[in-house]
């Protein structure tokens, strides 16, 4: 009798197990860790399911009817690759979702801002009274969304890892928001990383692309609709910025939509996120009036250019979700117009180079304070006259920044790195930053 093997536990693996069980399908579970997260839940809910913990066994995987691989597990793992060579299909939770769902899907990927745009498009749909499910790489796993009963619309954030194992998604509107170096500890080069992202356009009805980033254009033959967004003046039907009577507007073609002063998202990165969300929402039929209302009161995301404290004229901003170089470049360029920046950066660079930081740091930063494993690599890449300080903890980084800051400055935590060398997650890293800021400012 055929059976699936769920590889990788945690939130996604548990949701896959529950889904397969709900379909009455036989499955086993494998994880490279001996005590993975979700193990207790699985043992309690499915006491009769086979569990294989520790190094993956290629022989056992080759006997499966299909492998359902969590995004945290590389499909290049030798045992998985061997099963693939033997003809065993390898899919993920998004593929299971795509095979079942009939409601339209807005699919969003990119190196940066995908969580913000996904949340914003979801907020737009809710404003329009649409029964919407928002999840994927943020919030609920897609199969948990499905378990709630089918929605009228789904808005999904999808990572390159999820897209690698997805074949049947036919999105109503899909986008690669941007592409910059990330996950080069998992991909051999930017080409392979970009090709994984490109899978989002397969079979979609509308591709939404970034005019400022050619890597967001579909590279394979594409016969469906195309619409673009950017910070320049848009051509007919496209989304961009227009000046009119001394004010800057979000616009579609020559139609003025809303002034940038009216939207809750700040800076250039806020404007481009708003434009991409409008293009995606329109592609899925969300009424424009509701989308514009949503832009006025969208609260943004925790740890994403979030103002956590202001003291003596200095703003302290938590961008701990800036886990790659592109995210930090966007934050520096977006916030630099508001005043000089003292940047706190560093952590686990995931194999990326930091050269792209040099120019925005030179332009916008009065100082850089570095922490974490790859602090030396960042320091070497900056090659600027900007003073650089290396410290050993977040508390020390905040203390150094407070010493350097003057009224009108911004202290920005935007690490350009993952958090795993020092913290459990980027969320904990942001919380430690905010706590240190408040403690020091209170003491001062």
Q: Tell me which residues are annotated as active site.
A: 114, 137, 183
> Residue-wise over 11-21: b if at least 16 C-beta within 10 A, else e?
bbbbbbbbbbe
For the record, the structure tokens of 254 come out as 């020559």
DSSP state of 274: H
Calculate the CA 161 to chain-centre distance: 12
Q: Cα-flanking dihedrals φ and ψ of residue 274, to 5°?
A: -65, -40
Q: Cα-flanking dihedrals φ and ψ of residue 116, to 5°?
A: -60, -50
Calculate the CA 434 to chain-centre distance: 21
For the record, the structure tokens of 251 come out as 């616009």
Ranges assigned E (strand) in 197-278? 206-210, 225-229, 239-244, 247-252, 255-259
Q: For 31-100, what is the HEC assignment?
A: ECCCCCCCHHHHHHHCCCCCEEECCCCHHHHHCCCEEEECCCCCCCCHHHHHHHHCCCCEECHHHHHHHH
Q: Kind and range of the H or E element at 369?
A: strand 365-370
Q: Within 13 Å, how many C-alpha atoms sit on residue 224's CB side?
A: 19
Q: Helix H segments across 150-266?
A: 160-164, 190-198
Whether 426 contacts 303, CB under 8 Å: yes
Q: Within 13 Å, how many C-alpha atoms sit on residue 378's CB side?
A: 30
């Amino acid at each position: 009798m055929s059976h699936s093997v769920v590889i990788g536990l945690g939130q996604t693996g548990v949701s896959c197990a529950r889904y397969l069980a709900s379909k009455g399908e036989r499955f086993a579970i494998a994880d490279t860790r001996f005590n993975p997260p979700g193990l207790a839940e699985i043992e309690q809910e499915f006491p009769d399911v086979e569990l294989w913990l520790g190094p993956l066994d290629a022989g056992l995987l080759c006997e499966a009817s299909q492998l359902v691989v969590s995004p945290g597990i590389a499909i290049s793992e030798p045992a998985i690759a061997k099963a693939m060579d033997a003809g065993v299909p390898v899919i993920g939770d998004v593929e299971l979702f795509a095979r079942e769902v009939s409601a339209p899907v807005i699919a969003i990927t990119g190196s940066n801002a995908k969580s913000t745009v996904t949340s914003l498009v979801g907020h737009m749909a809710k404003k329009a009274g649409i029964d919407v499910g928002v999840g994927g790489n943020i919030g609920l796993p897609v199969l948990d969304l499905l378990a709630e009963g089918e929605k009228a619309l789904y808005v999904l954030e999808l990572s390159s890892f999820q897209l690698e194992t997805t074949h049947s998604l036919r999105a109503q509107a899909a986008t690669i928001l941007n592409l910059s170096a990330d996950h080069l500890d998992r991909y051999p080069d930017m080409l392979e990383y970009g090709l994984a992202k490109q899978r989002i356009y397969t079979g979609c009805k509308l591709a939404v692309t970034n005019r400022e980033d050619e890597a967001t254009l579909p590279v394979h033959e594409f016969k469906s609709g195309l619409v673009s967004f950017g910070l320049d003046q848009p051509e007919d039907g496209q989304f961009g910025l227009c000046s009119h009577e001394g004010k800057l507007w979000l616009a579609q073609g020559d139609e003025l939509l809303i002034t940038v002063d009216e939207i809750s998202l700040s800076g250039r990165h806020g404007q481009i996120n708003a434009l991409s969300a409008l293009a995606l929402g329109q592609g899925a039929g969300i009424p424009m009036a509701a989308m514009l209302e949503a832009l006025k009161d969208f609260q943004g995301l925790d740890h994403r250019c979030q103002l956590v404290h202001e003291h003596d004229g200095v703003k302290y901003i938590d961008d701990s979700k800036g886990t790659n170089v592109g995210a930090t470049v966007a934050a520096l360029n977006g916030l630099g117009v508001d005043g000089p920046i003292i940047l706190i950066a560093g952590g686990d660079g995931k194999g990326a180079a930091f050269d792209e930081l040099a120019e925005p740091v030179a332009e916008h930063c009065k100082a850089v304070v570095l922490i974490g494993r790859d602090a030396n690599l960042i320091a070497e890449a900056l090659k600027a006259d900007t003073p650089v300080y290396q410290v050993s903890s977040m508390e020390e980084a905040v203390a150094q920044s407070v010493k350097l800051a003057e009224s009108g400055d911004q202290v920005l935590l935007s690490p350009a790195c993952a958090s795993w060398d020092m913290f459990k997650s980027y969320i904990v890293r942001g919380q430690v930053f905010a706590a240190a800021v408040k403690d020091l400012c209170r003491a001062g």
